Chains A and B, each alone.
Chain A
Amino acid sequence: MHTDASGTASATSFSAWAGSVAELCELVERLRPVAATLGAPAPADCDWHGVLFGKLRPQVAREPLLVAAVCGGTNTGKSLITNAVVGAEISRSVPEAARTLHPVASLPRGLAARVDLAGLFPGFRPVTWTSERDALDTDTSDVIVCREDSGGRQPARLVILDTPDIDGTLRENWQRAELVRNACDVIVAVLTQQKYNDAAVREFFAAAAAAGKTVFVIFNMVDWPRQRERIAGWLATFAEETGVAAAAVYAAPHDFPAAEAGRIVLHPLPELTPDGRSVPLGERLADCDFDRIKRRAMEGAMRVVLDDAAGVPAWLDAFVARAGEWRGSQQQLEERGRVRVELPPAPRHVVWDEIWSWLEPRRSGVDRFVSRGYRWAGARVTWAAQRLGVVRTAQERQQDFAALELAALKQALGDFIDRLEDACAADPRLASMLGSRLASGDRVAWYADLERRHAALPMVSQAYRDFVRGELDRFARDNPVMVQAILTALTVGAVARPALTLALGAAGAAAVPPLAVGATGGLSLLVHHVNDYVVWAAAPLAGEGAVMMAGKGIGPLVEGLFAGWSSERGRILAETLHEVVLGDGVDEIRRLAAAGSLPEVIRTRQVLDACARGCG
């Protein structure tokens, strides 16, 4: 009935699209989870999504089928009209409203064997028709009931669908109707005097018109023939509101007994039909120019997808804009998420013992002898002082230090939580990422984790020993003369008080001592030394001061060794924060801030350009 040439031409242009559409779908699928965390609109909520995934993807490369769907509000007689068009009762018509819960498809003979129906109707599970009551089944999953036309009257490439309502109290029905609308090429709009201008009805059909669907309008329950002349006015309102240009218009008289018996009469209204012909609906469906309608529907669908204001480009813009906002949030977090921890002064013996044990083999016999003498005398004096209660024992001092240090770390954790809460209060995006962790996290467990890590941390770890030796070896290599000078004159010492800055993000990472580099995610540590070198009163006993006095170069070295020790202590706080409190929230924020320049985003733009060129 139509030239093969047009069919081939359209098939060629479709196949040119097919690759791009498939790639576009894949890219959107890949970006979908990122979009969800970014707070960009979910693709599934956008008008273009249903068109892209429900129509273009399943149909662009498939055998050209014409899908016609009967759509309308509750209790407007959709099932009755579908049965009339198909010529058999495929969907039960009942007096109660909103009873058709599942779409019912009437397929031409043999189609089910040729075509993957699940692919043709994405979002639905195809089930085989058993009776006209299938559509009323209260099964909650999305199924499409498929029935082959046994009589063989249905044109070979035409699929006719009855759909659930679009305005009832069951929202699932709307969603199913929208899925069907997206997949179809032709819509039979069933309107009534009561419903032709309802907002829900208008919005449903406006989307169909925007996507280039061919629409046949049926006014049902008309007080025939009294209301015949009213129909032109109703249609004009409907057309103006929805943008639908009806390809043909019919009227079905209100006849309750006939409807009860499953009979319905469709009067063609040639005066409202563009071609002015009076052709029954069934014939029109069978005779319509499949390829032209198909191409129009496909091009309409592509137009929706490519629309700058509401299509994929707009969605992508929103995606990139959201990523930009996340960059702002990341900055905010870096500014606010910064806590200074005042650790108690490091027990000097901890670091010095390591230095001494490194020096030991390098010292002269005389030096060692004198030093041993000093140490022996020092130990006796200390013992006596402890007995008198003037000085605390080494173990007591260690306990005191541990308690002070733990309290300082806990206080820093508390401050950090406070600051994060502030940041979340100031920035809803941060709140969405970290707020629930802060609000519902088990804080008792956070502190318990910090306590556990602290208890498990030895005063001096092997890693720190290796670090000290490495540093000293390096120093000795670089300054052989100075080491010699130190070894000949060991006397006075000094202790530096450390302060840790714990920050989120990359800021200050350059200054992190090597030991702090660990599995701490987006957290970085920065160790400062409060610049109050204290000359230790008992220094002559140990001779540490000599190291300090021996040359300017040694100051930074010793400071570095103390810093290494402090950063190792502080790292447990960073670990608790990263592993228990924040999880990978901070890394996630960094990822989102960079989402705007993902390769998928760039590629999506290229694919959209390619599609637009093909469309043009």
Chain B
Amino acid sequence: MHRDAAAPSPASHAEADFASFDALADALGHWAGSLPGWAPARAVRAEWEAVAPRLDRARRELSRMLVVGVLGGTGTGKSTLVNALAGTEVTAAGDVVRPTTLNPVVVAPRDVDLSWLPLEAMQARLVRSDAPALANIAIVDCPDPDTQPTTETAAGAGGRPSDRNHNRDMLEAVLPVCDVLLLVSTAQKYRSWVVAREVAAFAPGRPLLFVQTHAGRDPDIRADWRRELESQGFEVPRIFRLDGVEASARSAAGLAADPGFRELLEAIDAELAGRAARRVRRTGAVDLAAWFARHSRSHLQALRGPLAELAAALAVERSRLEGILARGVGERLRAGRTDWQRHIAVDVIERWQGGPFAGFLHVLAALGAVWGRFRPGGGLIGRLLAGQPAAGGAGWRAVEELGLAEGEVEQSRSILAGYAARARIGAPLVGRARIDAAEVPATVGAVVERTGHWLATGIERLVAERRGRIGSGLTHWTFEVLFGALLVTVLVRAGWSFFHGNLWEGRPASGAGFLQEALVWVVLWGLALRWAVFGLVRRGLDRDIAALVSQLPAARLVDPLLADFHGAALAATAFCAEGDRLGDEADALAAAVDEPTGLGRLRRSPG
């Protein structure tokens, strides 16, 4: 009790491993279904749907006995070996006709509940056995994979017995319930292509035992078989070599097993029974999860390049569109020179109350307003400069008025669609090159709105700064004094002429002629001063517009136009990254539960 608390037992280590395995399996399941819009992710999910039930079963049925599938080509002595293990003839074996075993036979201890075994789906027959070798495992004599015709077309006209042979199909129904594969082969069959294909398909997450039979007749080919298996990606700790016929005979006669068969019996006892079964199941499940993660990762591997290219292209196209927009906006801001000065001046002038120059400017502004009514709208920028709200049309027209043509946007989207296709990204993650009419308000409208806000703020800042330059009382009164000086001069000159010249010296009055002349000079002087005011307003305007426009990319105004591509690239990249993370986690877990055993396993895909 005390010791238990001080140092956790290996079993509790294992339980801890299994808790993290549960978390891993949940994370893998969540990950596999997280991006259904992307075809490669859908492939991952489909793969997961095949793997998940096995993982789930492994978690639920951690302590149930192992099912060992005896697998191999026809004539390799599978049934003979099963009979030898059972100690009696439970399944037909021999050399009369090939194939011997047609339906799978499950041999299991007598008093074990096998209700979880789908015997009907497996088309299997159940035989109970008291053999000590089978006290802790259930064993399945599987149909062979090599007698069913390889292709439908090869299956003759239907008149041959083999046309009704579905052994491989039956085998593929049996193998999913097996926890461990016992691969039986002979000198003639260890390099069989068909068997290798079936084993490769079912080996992930299933430990294997390798047995060469017909030891009494055939040479020892274990070294060459090991090379062959290793080239297919298997880890092969040992290969048993025995003679099934002899073992069966000795077992039936109650004699002690010969060394080859005894080694196999010992291995079954040590590696597959009791606590070992738990370990096998746990390692198998973790191996399967790691295999799934590795497999998915290798499938996604090819898409990393295209995804990176898509991200790079996205940046290029975004800055291209921003460049076009910046050029268009800059051009239109510069072209609206008169609008600028009117916009700034009108406001300032409204605050310049009192004084003759202010009065003069008010009159001009009123005339300008009348003229402005006859001028065309000038788009968003024209409206902003005319002091109107930014809100305008949400269609392409509004964006095109800013200098960004629909064709340019379509170009960017078409280019990105090409990159996306290479990363196998398509609908529904991304839209077409031409933005769908229904999407225009959400995308193009958003660009107009963003640009409107950004421009309104920018223009407001420029205007405020310029208002500051001319809005002060000092500037106002300086101009009033300059304008007033001429007025005073004119009045003084007129007064002098009238009072001194006419009344005093008796010269004839100059009449309205002088006043008309004086009015022209006043107007010209007023216009000259107004020009000076506007000069103050205009000073550095081009530079400031350039500075404003240079900040356009930072405002990410065109983002809504490419938002679907951006989102898809991010999601797909995140999917790959999460796959990597889970793969590493699975590998780490697999390494943690890895214990040296006598069982073989599939380590990697065949090279």
Contacts and interface: CB of A to CB of B under 8 A. Distances in A.
Interface string B313-326: 10010000000000
A233 interface: yes
Given A75-B191, A97-B188, A167-B192, A411 B228 contact: no
Contact of B191 (A97, A234, A404, A415): A97
B587 to A, nearest CB: 28
B410 interface: yes
A413 interface: yes
Interface in B192-213: 192-194, 196
A586 B110 CA distance: 71
Nearest to A440: B422
B421 interface: yes
A415 to B, nearest CB: 6
Interface string B383-404: 0000000000000000000000
A411 B434 contact: yes
B407 A406 contact: yes
Interface string A242-268: 000000000000101000000000000
A447 B160 contact: no
Contacts of A197: 74, 97-99, 147, 162
Interface residues of A, number: 61
A403 B405 contact: yes
A97 B410 contact: no
B146 A199 contact: yes
Interface string A529-572: 00000000000000000000000000000000000000000000
Contact of B193 (A169, A193, A240): A169
Contacts of B189: 74-75, 194-195
Contact of A200 (B76, B146, B165, B421): B146
B75 A438 contact: no
Interface in B166-221: 186-194, 196, 217-219, 221
B418 A414 contact: no
Interface stretch (B47-55, B149-157, B540-548, B552-560): B149-157
B418 A241 contact: no
B338 interface: yes
B66 to A, nearest CB: 29
A193 B95 contact: yes
A418 interface: yes
A241 B162 contact: yes
Given A199-B148, A200-B194, A233-B96, A417 B161 contact: no
B434 A237 contact: no
B96 A414 contact: no
B191 A98 contact: yes
Contacts, number: 172
B30 interface: no
B154 A97 contact: no
15 contacts: A97-B188, A169-B191, A171-B193, A192-B188, A194-B186, A200-B194, A206-B154, A221-B188, A233-B97, A234-B98, A403-B405, A411-B407, A411-B410, A414-B413, A439-B421
Given A74-B189, A407-B406, A415-B410, 6 more contacts: A169-B232, A194-B74, A233-B96, A408-B407, A412-B407, A417-B417
B430 to A, nearest CB: 12
A237 B165 CA distance: 13
B396 to A, nearest CB: 10
B147 A199 contact: yes
B75 A410 contact: no
A95 B219 contact: yes
Interface string A195-237: 1111110110010000000000000010100010010011001
A167 B190 CA distance: 11
Interface centre among A75, A168, A170, A442 (most CB of B within 10 A): A75
A389 B418 contact: no
Interface of B is mostly: loop
A83 interface: no
B433 A414 contact: yes
Contacts of A441: 418
Interface of B: 73-76, 95-99, 146-150, 154, 156, 160-162, 165, 186-194, 196, 217-219, 221, 224, 228, 232, 313, 316, 338, 405-408, 410-411, 413-415, 417-419, 421-422, 432-434
Interface string A51-85: 00000000000000000000001111000000000
A444 interface: yes
Contact of B95 (A200, A227, A240, A444): A227
A508 B96 CA distance: 74
A139 interface: no
Interface string A397-431: 00000011011111111110110010000000000
Contacts of A403: 405
**Top 7 A-B pairs, shortest CB-CB distance:** A194-B75, A407-B407, A407-B405, A411-B407, A414-B410, A410-B407, A95-B219
A76 B407 contact: no
A96 interface: yes
A95 B405 contact: no
A199 B162 contact: yes
Contacts of B411: 410-411, 413-414, 447
Contacts of B74: 194, 197-198
B302 to A, nearest CB: 13
Contact of A256 (B98, B147, B217): B217
A583 B333 CA distance: 43
Interface in A160-188: 165, 167-171
A169 B219 contact: no
Contacts of A453: none
A193 B150 CA distance: 20
Contacts of A591: none
A96 B73 CA distance: 17
Contact of A95 (B161, B196, B221): B221
A410 B408 CA distance: 7
B514 to A, nearest CB: 34
A443 interface: yes
Contacts of B146: 167, 198-200
Given A417-B433, A418-B432, A441-B418, A195 B95 contact: no
Contacts of B96: 230, 233
B459 to A, nearest CB: 20
Contacts of B149: 199, 202-203
Contacts of A97: 187-188, 190-191, 221, 224
B602 to A, nearest CB: 16
B440 to A, nearest CB: 14
A404 B400 CA distance: 10
A412 B414 CA distance: 11
A234 B99 CA distance: 11
Given A192-B188, A439-B422, A200 B414 contact: no
Contact of B188 (A195, A256, A389): A195
Contacts of A96: 221, 224
A61 B291 CA distance: 58
B161 A241 contact: yes
B395 to A, nearest CB: 15
A511 B587 CA distance: 67
A234 to B, nearest CB: 8
Contact of B433 (A193, A241, A389, A418): A418
A415 B410 CA distance: 8
A198 B147 contact: yes
Contacts of B228: 169
Contacts of A223: 95
A168 B197 CA distance: 11
A438 B193 contact: no
A407 B400 CA distance: 10
B153 to A, nearest CB: 9
Given A74-B191, A95-B221, A168-B192, A237 B98 contact: yes
Nearest to A410: B407
A604 to B, nearest CB: 23
A502 B405 CA distance: 21
Contact of B76 (A167, A194, A411, A415): A194
